[in-house]
A and B are shown apart, each in its own frame.
Chain A
Amino acid sequence: MSIQLSCKYVYILIIFSTLAVSGPSVYAQATDTTAIDSTEHKVKKKDLAGHQLCIGFDVLRPVLNDVTHGGIGYGFEADYYMHNEFYLAAEGGWGNSNVNYDNLKYSTNNNFLSFGFNKSILTRNGPKDWDMMFIGMRLGAANVARSPASYIVIDSVWGNSAGSSQGQAFLAVWAELTGGMRVELIKGLMAGWNFRGRFLLNAKSFENLAPLYIAGYGRGDKGVAFDFNVYVSYGIRWKRRSLGLADAKAIAPVAK
């Protein structure tokens, strides 16, 4: 991927993140200004939702491992609710691939990790409503190890010639835009899907022999990869301390 293309993707990411992060605050500023003008009192909206740590497993990936023949991967995700419908998110996993073509043979394996955030764009029905449609961003990395590759250069005139290329270890880094949906099936147990667009930031590292499949990213020989995940996850919830104190004050009898 050329530098220009990389810059374009980084530019898109910056614009996207600016909109995602500053949008609500700009709106909040405008609302606050009006409020100051009218009452000169700034009332901070209280986040009534508690804490939630959600841990999930990609249940679609094992199915695709059997159906497709490119590579095998497994993935986990975890997210933690911060405030104002922002979630810190992390994903991790591992995988491998085996290329066994007539003229090219090698194998790869890798682990991956990505960090970022999700922003729910659904209005909450109440503090206990954890259903969400969201958009998010990630920055991901994978350490890829490729075995020595054996190849045959096919030449109909002079005859085929065989050779091998040394094994290699390298780091793949990508930026990711994601969007999806998650609904609560029964109390605490949730299911959801993510659609992802990934942009490889160091594609030049793969010019010698781009790995066919990088778990967590997708096709290593493409600068842009799209993916889809289905997660089943469980949410662990607890109340906010500030809410608990407020509630306690509210119900405490007034001392005379």
Chain B
Amino acid sequence: MINSPKQFCFILIILCCIGWVACTQVRNPCETPMTATLNISTQHLISPTDSAFVDTALPSAVFIPLTTAANKTATIYPQQVSFTISLSPDSNICRWAFTPDTPGYAFDTLTFYYQKNLQFISNACGFTYFYNIDSVHFTKNLFIDSIHILNASVTNNVNTTQLQICIHPDNF
């Protein structure tokens, strides 16, 4: 039968645990990136005759999504080597206009061909799309010398660089 030390222990632990269970959060905040990012680094050849690439910090690169429906706002970056863009979840093709420096206002066009995969992240974050790049086409009459796909898989991992844009050595 019940006695006082047991009763005390019983009630104390019940109160503590009810408090703990009642305070447990049901919906956690979303702490992972919800958008798959295509991370780009820029490089250039040391000279036209040399095959070695070096990192190139573009002075004021501009990326503009070429779409009719969405937000067509340009993203202007300060001087840096790596850039982040995204692919359209509505299609298997999307285009970005790109220029390495704002004063020129001359743009190259990058066209991405890819497969998209629906991905469940978590209940807190919901769904997103991951992509697998098939190919990248680009206009090379202005700044771009070549483009290399380093990793075709575009996920929400911000530390993976998928694309390397090599700039004409004449321009830098």
* Chain A residues proximal to chain B, CB less than 8 Å: 60, 64, 67-70, 99, 101, 103-104, 128-129, 131, 151-159, 161, 163, 165, 181, 183-185, 191-193, 195, 207-210, 212-213, 221, 227-228, 230
Number of interface residues of B (CB under 8 A): 38
Q: Which residues of B contact A152 (CB under 8 A)?
A: 126
Q: A64-B22, A184-B2 are in contact. List 7 more A-B contacts (CB 8 A).
A: A151-B126, A153-B129, A154-B35, A185-B2, A210-B122, A221-B123, A230-B18
B126 x A156 contact (CB < 8 A): no
Q: Which residues of B contact A184 (CB under 8 A)?
A: 1-2
Tell me the complex Cα distance, A181–B20, Å. Answer: 17
Q: Which residues of B contact A67 (CB under 8 A)?
A: 22
Q: Does B71 contact A (CB under 8 A)?
A: yes
Q: Which residues in chain B, 89-126, are within 8 Å of chain A measured between CB atoms?
A: 89-90, 94, 118, 120, 122-123, 126
A193 x B1 contact (CB < 8 A): no
A103 x B126 contact (CB < 8 A): yes
Q: Which residues of B contact A191 (CB under 8 A)?
A: 10
B71 x A156 contact (CB < 8 A): yes
Q: Which residues in chain B, 75-101, are within 8 Å of chain A measured between CB atoms?
A: 85-90, 94
Q: Please list 26 pairs of residues, one from A and one from B, whose beta carbons are closer than 8 Å in the complex, sorted by A's number.
A: A69-B26, A70-B27, A101-B27, A103-B126, A104-B126, A131-B2, A151-B126, A155-B86, A155-B88, A156-B71, A158-B65, A158-B86, A158-B94, A159-B71, A163-B127, A181-B9, A184-B1, A185-B2, A193-B13, A207-B120, A208-B120, A210-B122, A212-B26, A221-B122, A228-B17, A228-B18
Q: Name the one of A70, A157, A161 contacting B65, with C-beta atoms under 8 angstroms.
A: A157
A209 x B17 contact (CB < 8 A): no
Which label, helix, strand, loop or mixed, suits the secondary structure of the B interface? mixed
Q: Which residues of A contact B126 (CB under 8 A)?
A: 101, 103-104, 151-154
Q: Does B149 contact A (CB under 8 A)?
A: no
Which of chain B's residues has its CB closest to A208's CB?
B120
Which of chain B's residues has its CB closest to A70's CB?
B26
**Max chain B Cβ within 10 angstroms of own Cβ: one of A104, A155, A161, A163:** A155
Task: State whether A68 and B22 are in contact (beta carbons under 8 Å apart), knowing that A101-B27, A158-B70, A159-B90 are contacts in the complex.
Answer: yes
B123 x A210 contact (CB < 8 A): yes
B127 x A158 contact (CB < 8 A): no
A155 x B35 contact (CB < 8 A): yes
Tell me the complex Cα distance, A67–B88, Å. Answer: 41
Q: Name the one of A64, A183, A213 contacting B21, with C-beta atoms under 8 angstroms.
A: A64
Tell me the complex Cα distance, A59–B13, Å. Answer: 16
Smallest CB–CB gap between A149 and chain B, Å? 8
A60 x B21 contact (CB < 8 A): yes
A193 x B14 contact (CB < 8 A): yes
B127 x A104 contact (CB < 8 A): yes
